[in-house]
Structure 1
Amino acid sequence: MQYIITAVGPDHRGLADPIVHCVTELGANISEIQMFDHDEESLFSMLTRVELAPGRADELHAAAADISDRTGLSIRTWSPDIVGRKPRLAICATYRTETPRAVLTAIHNGLINAEAAVMISNRQACRSLAEEFDVPWFTIGDDQGNADDERLVSICDEQNIDYVVLARYMRILPPASVWKYAGGRIINLHHGLLPSFPGMRPYHDAYAVRMLTYGATCHFIIPELDAGNQIINQSTFSVSPGTSIDEIVRRGQEENEPACLVEGVRRVVAGEVRLHFNRIVANS
Structure 2
Amino acid sequence: MMNTSSARVNYVLALSCQDMPGIVSAVTAELAALGANISDSNQFWDRYSNSFFMRIAFSAPLGVTEEVVRRSLKSPIERYSMKLELNDAARKPRVIIMVSKFDHALLHLLYQIRVGWLNADVAAIVSNHQDCREAAEREGIPFHYLPVSKETKVQQEEKLLKLISETQSDLIVLARYMQVLSTELSSRLFGKIINIHHSFLPSFKGAKPYHQAFERGVKQIGATAHYVTPDLDEGPIIEQQVERVHHAMSVEDLVATGRDIESRALAWAVKMHLETRVMRNGLKTVVFA
Hey, what does 1:55 align to over in structure 2?
A: 67
In 1, the alpha carbon distance for the partners of 2:197 and 2:142 equals 25
1:45-86 deviations in Å (ceiling 9; x for gaps): xxxxxxxx9539xxxxxxxxxxxxxxxxxxxxxx95332411
3-state SS in 2 of match to 1:92: strand
Letter matched to residue 92 of structure 2: K
Do the aligned residues in 1 keep the contact of 2:204 with 2:212 (CA within 8 Å)?
yes
Hey, what does 1:258 align to over in structure 2?
A: 263
Q: 1:251 to 1:145 in 2, by over 3 A?
A: farther
Hey, what does 2:186 align to over in structure 1?
A: 178
In 2, the alpha carbon distance for the partners of 1:87 and 1:265 equals 11
In 1, the alpha carbon distance for the partners of 2:281 and 2:161 equals 22
Hey, what does 1:191 align to over in structure 2?
A: 198
3-state SS in 1 of match to 2:111: helix
Hey, what does 2:226 align to over in structure 1?
A: 219
By how many angstroms is 1:243 displaced? Answer: 0.9
Match status 1:117 vs 2:130: no
Hey, what does 1:203 align to over in structure 2?
A: 210
Q: 1:242 to 1:224 in 2, by over 3 A?
A: closer
By how many angstroms is 1:271 displaced? Answer: 1.3
Do the aligned residues in 1 keep the contact of 2:105 with 2:176 (CA within 8 Å)?
yes
In 1, the alpha carbon distance for the partners of 2:252 and 2:151 equals 26
In 1, the alpha carbon distance for the partners of 2:95 and 2:192 equals 10
Letter matched to residue 110 of structure 1: G
By how many angstroms is 1:267 displaced? Answer: 1.0
Do the aligned residues in 1 keep the contact of 2:205 with 2:233 (CA within 8 Å)?
no
Hey, what does 2:104 align to over in structure 1?
A: 98
Match 2:136 to one of 114, 122, 130: 130
3-state SS in 2 of match to 1:198: coil
Q: How does 1:17-28 map to 2 (within 5 A)?
A: none
Match status 1:267 vs 2:272: yes
Higher radius of gyration, 1 or 2: 2
Hey, what does 2:176 align to over in structure 1?
A: 168
**Structure 2 gap ranges (5+):** 1-12, 16-64, 69-83
Do the aligned residues in 2 keep the contact of 1:222 with 1:278 (CA within 8 Å)?
no
By how many angstroms is 1:156 displaced? Answer: 0.9
Match 1:153 to one of 157, 161, 180: 161
Do the aligned residues in 2 keep the contact of 1:118 with 1:137 (CA within 8 Å)?
yes
In 2, the alpha carbon distance for the partners of 1:226 and 1:203 equals 15
By how many angstroms is 1:144 displaced? Answer: 9.4
In 2, the alpha carbon distance for the partners of 1:223 and 1:110 equals 33
3-state SS in 2 of match to 1:156: helix
Do the aligned residues in 1 keep the contact of 2:99 with 2:178 (CA within 8 Å)?
yes
Match status 1:245 vs 2:251: yes
3-state SS in 1 of match to 2:177: coil
Q: TM-score, normalised by structure 1?
A: 0.68
3-state SS in 1 of match to 2:86: coil
By how many angstroms is 1:100 displaced? Answer: 0.4
**Structure 1 gap ranges (5+):** 4-52, 57-78
Q: TM-score, normalised by structure 2?
A: 0.67
1:116-141 deviations in Å (ceiling 9; x for gaps): 11111111111111111111111111
3-state SS in 2 of match to 1:82: strand
Letter matched to residue 202 of structure 1: P
Q: 1:216 to 1:153 in 2, by over 3 A?
A: same
Identity of aligned residues (%): 30
In 1, the alpha carbon distance for the partners of 2:66 and 2:275 equals 20
Q: 1:257 to 1:186 in 2, by over 3 A?
A: same
In 2, the alpha carbon distance for the partners of 1:225 and 1:117 equals 26
Do the aligned residues in 2 keep the contact of 1:122 with 1:146 (CA within 8 Å)?
no
